[in-house]
Structure 1
Amino acid sequence: MHKQEIPANEPPLAEQAFTRLRQDVLAGTFEAGAKLKLDELQSAYGYSSSPLREALSRLAQEGLVRADERRGFRVAPISEEDLADITRMRVMLDVPALRESIGHGDDAWEASVLAAFHRLEKVESRLSDGPVILDGEWSQLHRTFHLSLLAACPSLRQRTWGASLFDQAERYRRFSARHRKTARRKSSEHKKIMDAALRRDADTACALLEEHILSTQRNVVAALKAAQAAQS
């Protein structure tokens, strides 16, 4: 009897579980602070407990999930304090990374930034007047654009940690979008950052990126206060 061969291009089950669970945590499918029960996750995703435990442990390392004192897992809570910490770290890491990237970027880097912005803008132009971040394709292209700006930074750790913080902020961006009455598009902000970066004006590009990050914090804080007021 021959063993069933796993296709070479098929990711391991733990990787599949991690990718799907991570996507749903970022999208807000699970409420902040919600208990992530293994039996319910097994039913929802069809994986056994082993790959799910590994996926949850990896999400805990990223700060998207918290390990419960009873050896369980919960979605990380949402708070102004946590967002302030994420924002502070993003400014500390991403702004210098952009300056480094501008200094080291070559023609291929410029082309990748332009292509990433073009794809983002094309998708955004096709979307309705609702919050664009709630569209999965736009959200992925938005991430790709931001990471492309920093891609020429020579520090792998800086890029890796920056990407993780970007994803942690994603939960807050989506929360803000769901609780905001008016949609806010950022294509003009993205273009200004890109244009400054491509003309190698590091001071302007870095100032624009920092304000871009801080504006997200202000919007989320306003949404958090509005949500709290609605509950009281």
Structure 2
Amino acid sequence: MPALSGGRRPANRQLLADYVYQELLASLMDGRLEPGSGIGIDRMAAELEVSQTPIREALARLEATGLVRREALKGYRVAPLFTAEELGELMEARAVIEPPMTESACAHVTPELRAELQRAVDDLRGAPTGPTFAEYGAYWEADERFHRLIAEHAHNRFLLNAYNALGGQVQRFRFFGDLGVTDAEHAIAEHTRILEAFEAGSPLRAREAMLEHISNVRGRALKDASSAPKSPLQQA
């Protein structure tokens, strides 16, 4: 297993747990922990110079994202890459769930929500988009925050539960390694159109802009995945 990136360990317990989580997440997203490979808790603890407890806590958090899987009597394993079929199904699910949530959130928009969405778009514009997670992690966070803000303000607990059930699968399609963010210009423009609909108070425009965004993301993700060296989509 390739070495983790390492770094100075914080002393506070919660900060330590967050540090370990970020280290493992970066190793997954950068391909240092390869899809389908087993995850050795003892080795990770030794490399990060921590006990097994924060490693186990981090892996439990990562399991909720879909990036790692726990197998009975075998421990944790890195999730395999998406197939073309799985990626298509994920985007179909997003296309069902997110546009109506966007319409509802826009219908109930507040000045505070507009400001938070604007901040997320501004953060997207200002975030680096290099090939490593250290470089594109801030972009990824701002992207996820924009979508989550809309989901949390849709005033529909059942749609929110469905959105949450997708978990990290919403972002797992980026898990190809060595690609980073390849669609920033398009994605920022699409987020901006959604934001403009919120600013105009047009729920229908917001719904249509979100649906267009998800459709475009699907196309770009399939193209990127098919060109990735380790992607099973090349044989799909």
TM-score, with normalisation over the residues of structure 2?
Answer: 0.74
Q: How far is the alpha carbon of 1:195 from its aligned partner?
A: 0.5
1:113 aligns with 2:117: yes
Q: Percent identity?
A: 24
2:205 aligned residue: 204
Listed as ranges, the gaps of 5+ residues in structure 2 are: 1-10
2:222 aligned residue: 221
Q: How far is the alpha carbon of 1:143 from its aligned partner?
A: 2.2
1:97 aligned residue: 101
Residue among 88, 91, 97 paired with 1:87: 91
Q: How far is the alpha carbon of 1:194 from its aligned partner?
A: 0.9
* DSSP-derived class of the 2:77 partner: strand
Name the aligned partner's letter for residue 116 of structure 1.
Answer: A
1:68 aligns with 2:79: no
* DSSP-derived class of the 1:67 partner: strand
Name the aligned partner's letter for residue 163 of structure 2.
Answer: G
| Change in CA separation of 1:53 and 1:149 when aligned onto 2, cut-off 3 Å | same
1:31 aligned residue: 34
1:145 aligns with 2:149: no
What's the CA shift string for 1:44-63, capped at 9, x where partnerless?
33332233223323322332
Q: How far is the alpha carbon of 1:179 from its aligned partner?
A: 8.5
Preserved contact between residue 109 and residue 151 of structure 1 (Cα < 8 Å): no
How many residues in Structure 1 have an aligned counterpart in Structure 2? Answer: 220
* DSSP-derived class of the 2:173 partner: helix
Name the aligned partner's letter for residue 31 of structure 1.
Answer: E
TM-score, with normalisation over the residues of structure 1?
Answer: 0.75
* DSSP-derived class of the 1:11 partner: helix
Preserved contact between residue 66 and residue 168 of structure 2 (Cα < 8 Å): no
1:11 aligns with 2:10: no
Name the aligned partner's letter for residue 99 of structure 2.
Answer: V
Listed as ranges, the gaps of 5+ residues in structure 1 are: 1-5
| Matches for 1:50-65 after TM superposition, within 5 Å | 50-65=53-68
